[in-house]
Structure 1
Amino acid sequence: MNGADSTDHGDGHRAYIGSFTSGGGRGITVAAVDPSTGALTPLSVTRSLPDPSYLTVSRSTGVVYAVSETEQGAAGAFRPTAEGLVPAGPAVRVGGSGPTHLGLAGGRLLTANYASGSVSSLSVAADGSLSGPASVLTHRTTGPDGSRREAHAHQVLPDPSGRWVLSVDLGTDSVRICALDAATGALRVHSETVLRAGSGPRHLVPHPTEPVVYVLHELEPQLTICRWNPASGRLEPVSEVPVASRGASGAVRPYPSAVVASPDGRFLWAAVRGADVIVTFSLADGPEKPQLTGTVGCGGHWPRDLAADPSGRRLYAANERSGDVTWFDVDPLTGRPRRAGSLPVPAATCVAFD
């Protein structure tokens, strides 16, 4: 498989698929996306960065960024070419261990470093390349009851206004709202929202048009609905809804992994590992009142990531343990996904689109 592909791929949209090279993955797979069916056709593979488990694409430059989820912790930048992805300079150490997520904000690349419980900020040049050293914010590890707790930053992303950075910590059961210094790239904690102890918040997604944020928990199969105030930088929990049943004694334990909002704000979807399902929520009663309306199989085993294509008409599940990316057509009336196809991708971890 290489970049010398002569097939007509329509409007030229691409999907970028991360994987665990330590688990048999090939690195970053580039695939063409059929605009009519959503089908993925592999074009090339980039193997230069170990364990590129999470990816994001710059909307302004088209540069693809990836974490290297290793003990040393690094991030890489890649330019798309006709022959595949080409490194935009060397990978840069993030100053933290086990980065699991990354996002772009204020001209910086931010990474959530799970193993070291920190968030890092790297300089991004005009051409999209990265440089260090990283500015690192280490999460405090004292719990609300004064006990010592182990921080595990799992996600970092800008809020919709672009004014704040939100950092989700599975270990401290909290979301930190940070200010980003435009000159130095340093992060400063502005406020912290503490969620239910032991729930293990993993990922969040903002509603596309309303000041509401949905936090998905890994250790408890639940979704916390929060009001978001971009003026004050405050996140207020409002309610919780279950994502999956905990099951009877001896049943497979559910581990929710990713939450996605439809671009039109009508639906939410959550992937649940163990149960290996995708759960659909309707927001017809309002953004603060998600209603669980259906559950379908993820098409494989252990859906580590779930992504919507830019149109919101399709969902893509990266099924890590079965080694595939499965795509689903979304019913425009009910939001329920219907399996449409699958591409083998060993140790698949993430799907991102240009």
Structure 2
Amino acid sequence: MAGSFSRRGFLSAVGALGVAGATVGCASAAGRSGSGAGAGLPSSAAAHAHEGLMTFIGSYTSSQPAGRGVEIAMRDMNGVLAPSGTLDGVADASFFAWSPDHAFLYVTNEQPQGSITAIDVSTHEPRIINTAPSGGNAPTHLSVHPSGEYVLTAHYGDGTVAVHRRNPDGGIGENTALVQHPGAEPHAHQVLVDPSGKWVVTVDLGADSVFVHAFDAGELTQHQQLALPAGTGPRHLVFKGTTAYLLAELNSTITVLGWDPEAGNLTAGQVISSRAPEAAGENFPAEIAITRDGRFVYATNRGDDTVAVFSVDNGALTFQSATPTGGNWPRHCALDPEETSLFVANQRAGTITRLARDAETGALTPTPDSYACPSVAAITFHG
């Protein structure tokens, strides 16, 4: 595997990530911008906050073309996004995580000297609370513990996982743990808490492993390392009860994992391609999502530029279809709260496209709806 940051630069494709002195807080497509760190949206944007579903979009400010960091759009009843404002001072915003009450949003600032930013959304006028060092290199993913007391961050650049306490005002507090994944070149790509709330699960692309950690009062203790075949490159997983679905970036597969929450152990089962049978050429899957009812799984394919649809039967996956995203390099995707649409962040195209979803069959259908955002990385909904 190539060096950590050079490989991430290749996969991001549109520019050197983590460049010092990146320009942040550029105006949105509507020409609005915030007034600095710690400030809320301008009044014009705040006035729009009640006209639809507040939607947060993250992008790489140090890529070319430069993204806008964190911007806010409003999604109307037809699923169309309209720009509403930009928060200044959030560099290279690559992933989001909500507090349990959805009053606070946390963002990774994916730079060599990584940081994470806390945003207060409780008044529907988003305001930056603080930005704090994440403790590692190139944070790519974060989660909030179900207790609401801790924020957990995975670092792709150096293969570390950090834990920070949440302050009473929702801001990033003291660091309580920093663990290093083993291996010659670890690249932690995801950290999340299992459905029972007892364990912290981390996915490491470079170590070809999924780790399970015991979590106690902000401390992490490694409990299991589930090693996958060399060259798998696991990236992200999603849980549904006692089953997890693990998407692999380097070999374009999804592995079905059995999960024992009492023992804290994962067991590998079915392995299925993330691509359509006829797909050919290079491909690097990026994001995996599952419906609330657990009947359908979706996976983005960078290279094929599709979202693959899988049905779930007693935990097992069956490929159904692959729908073109209408863009290039689909890094992230998110179901809206109603699960009537899947929104796809096409990083190289600089667009978010909407795929309409059939709730009964799980099928996705392209729509003409497209939102422009240079070097887009992630999307999330305040709902």
Same fold (TM over 0.5): yes
Match of 2:370 in 1: 342
1:251-280 CA-partner distances (Å, limit 9, x unpaired): 640100000001111100000001110000
Give secondary structure in 1 for the equivalent of 2:327.
coil
Q: Which moved more, 1:220-229 or 1:128-137?
A: 128-137
Match of 2:353 in 1: 326
For the Cα contact (< 8 Å) 1:73–1:98, is it kept in 2?
A: yes
For the Cα contact (< 8 Å) 1:99–1:111, is it kept in 2?
A: yes
| Superposed counterparts of 1:168-179, under 5 Å | 168-179=203-214
For the Cα contact (< 8 Å) 1:316–1:326, is it kept in 2?
A: yes
For the Cα contact (< 8 Å) 2:142–2:192, is it kept in 1?
A: yes
* CA 81–190 in structure 1, closer or farther in 2 if over 3 Å, else same: closer
Letter in 2 for 1:186: E
| Distance in 2 separating the partners of 1:82 and 1:153 | 34
| Superposed counterparts of 1:144-159, under 5 Å | 149-159=184-194
Match of 1:13 in 2: 53
Aligned partner (choices 192, 199, 219) of residue 225 of structure 2 = 192
Q: Which moved more, 1:103-112 or 1:332-341?
A: 332-341
Give secondary structure in 1 for the equivalent of 2:62.
helix
Letter in 1 for 2:268: P
For the Cα contact (< 8 Å) 1:152–1:171, is it kept in 2?
A: yes
| Distance in 2 separating the partners of 1:274 and 1:8 | 36
Aligned partner (choices 264, 267, 285) of residue 296 of structure 2 = 267
Q: Does 1:75 align with 2:116?
A: yes
For the Cα contact (< 8 Å) 1:61–1:128, is it kept in 2?
A: no
| Distance in 2 separating the partners of 1:230 and 1:64 | 27
| Distance in 1 separating the partners of 2:75 and 2:286 | 24
Q: Does 1:242 align with 2:273?
A: yes
* CA 86–238 in structure 1, closer or farther in 2 if over 3 Å, else same: same
For the Cα contact (< 8 Å) 2:326–2:353, is it kept in 1?
A: yes
Q: Which moved more, 1:224-233 or 1:59-68?
A: 59-68
1:286-338 CA-partner distances (Å, limit 9, x unpaired): 22x21111111112100110111122221111111100111111012221111
> For structure 2, which runs of at least 5 residues remain unmatched after alignment?
1-30, 33-41
| Distance in 2 separating the partners of 1:166 and 1:83 | 32
Runs of 4+, deviation exceeding 3 Å: 5-10, 81-84, 245-248
| Superposed counterparts of 1:107-118, under 5 Å | 107-118=149-160
| Distance in 2 separating the partners of 1:113 and 1:246 | 33
Aligned partner (choices 282, 286, 294) of residue 314 of structure 2 = 286
Match of 2:67 in 1: 25
| Distance in 2 separating the partners of 1:342 and 1:231 | 44
1:240-261 CA-partner distances (Å, limit 9, x unpaired): 011126978xx64010000000
TM-score normalised by length of structure 2: 0.84
| Distance in 2 separating the partners of 1:265 and 1:50 | 35
| Distance in 1 separating the partners of 2:210 and 2:122 | 37
* CA 92–205 in structure 1, closer or farther in 2 if over 3 Å, else same: same
| Distance in 2 separating the partners of 1:118 and 1:80 | 29
| Distance in 1 separating the partners of 2:222 and 2:267 | 16
Give secondary structure in 2 for the equivalent of 1:232.
coil
Match of 2:89 in 1: 48
| Distance in 1 separating the partners of 2:204 and 2:158 | 11
- CA-CA distance at 1:56 after TM superposition: 1.4
Match of 2:331 in 1: 304
| Superposed counterparts of 1:87-102, under 5 Å | 87-89=128-130, 91-102=131-142
| Distance in 1 separating the partners of 2:123 and 2:275 | 43
TM-score normalised by length of structure 1: 0.90
* CA 247–281 in structure 1, closer or farther in 2 if over 3 Å, else same: closer
| Distance in 1 separating the partners of 2:277 and 2:213 | 33
Letter in 2 for 1:204: L
Give secondary structure in 1 for the equivalent of 2:323.
strand
Match of 2:322 in 1: 295
| Distance in 1 separating the partners of 2:100 and 2:53 | 13
State, as a whole percentage, how many aligned pairs show the same letter.
35
- CA-CA distance at 1:85 after TM superposition: 2.7
* Number of residue-to-residue matches in the alignment: 336
> For structure 1, which runs of at least 5 residues remain unmatched after alignment?
142-148
Aligned partner (choices 201, 223, 235) of residue 202 of structure 1 = 235
* CA 61–188 in structure 1, closer or farther in 2 if over 3 Å, else same: same
Letter in 1 for 2:265: R
Match of 1:145 in 2: none
For the Cα contact (< 8 Å) 1:281–1:293, is it kept in 2?
A: yes
Letter in 1 for 2:249: E
For the Cα contact (< 8 Å) 1:19–1:28, is it kept in 2?
A: yes
* CA 64–272 in structure 1, closer or farther in 2 if over 3 Å, else same: same
